[in-house]
Amino acid sequence: MRAMQIPSDHPLLLRIVDDLAAHGWSRQNIFLPADLTRALAAECRKRSAEGELAPAGVGRGASTEIREGIRGDHIQWIDPGQAESCDSYLNLMDSLREAMNRHLFLGLEDFECHFAMYPPGAFYLKHVDRFRDDDRRAVSAVVYLNDDWLPEHGGQLRMYLDEDTQHDVLPTGGCLVVFLSGDVPHEVLPATRERLSLTGWFRRRGNEPF
């Protein structure tokens, strides 16, 4: 599979930009091409089999703790140059970053992302994707890597859009969910089978000391 590139004015990206401007979130059921979804799933499974995924922490920096009562996923951060499938995904997200900056003036500087594997029964309790002491995360993006996911498998991403509106997303391969990190509380419900995703954050420049 060749590393792929799409222009930042692609209609799919503009739909996401429009949704974010109107509602603060977007869901695209068919975002990744099937061959890229498959290649990313294989890469995630390979890393998991090689023991490279580690239990995810809660919190940031020195105060990070492993707390399976809050989140039970295993993760590995992705860097450029490790695998063609990952580089393709990073290129796609860079086009999305450009589209959001051009149309929404978000000033997004970079994108960080990790593979996540939730073993059967694992969950992530309701939370917001922004740390109290670090507000650089501006936009969250989750893409799912699972074949043939059925409602009875569970594992929904549940978003709390306002007081009385929830929106559930099944983690079906190729589906992308994007939302404003500080505005949308969400949780991951337990599933009856292994659940794979790639979760990432577009970040603004931090308030670093001069």
Q: For residue 186, state whether it binds ligand OGA (rule: CB under 6 A).
A: yes
Cα-based distances in Å from 68 to 26, 119, 120, 124, 153: 29, 12, 13, 9, 20
Q: For residue 141, state whether it binds ligand OGA (rule: CB under 6 A).
A: no
DSSP notation for 84-127: HHHHHHHHHHHHHHHHHHHHH---EEEEEEEEEEE-TT--EEEE
Instruction: Report the partner that residue 181 touches, choosing among Mn ion, ligand OGA, none (CB closer than 5 to 8 A by kind).
Output: none
- Which residue shows structure tokens 């990190």? 181
Three-state SS for 12? helix
Kindly write out the interface string for residues 86-125 of this chain, putting x where it contacts ligand OGA by CB under 6 A and - elsewhere: ------------------------------x-------x-
Q: For residue 188, state whether it binds ligand OGA (rule: CB under 6 A).
A: yes
Distance CA 28, CA 143 (A): 9
**Using CB under 5 A, which residues numbered 100 to 139 contact Mn ion?**
129
DSSP assigned state of 69:
T
Instruction: Report the partner that residue 136 touches, choosing among Mn ion, ligand OGA, none (CB closer than 5 to 8 A by kind).
Output: none
Q: For residue 157, state whether it binds ligand OGA (rule: CB under 6 A).
A: yes
Binding residues (CB under 5 A) for Mn ion: these are: 129
Binding residues (CB under 6 A) for ligand OGA: these are: 116, 124, 129, 142, 157, 186, 188, 197, 199
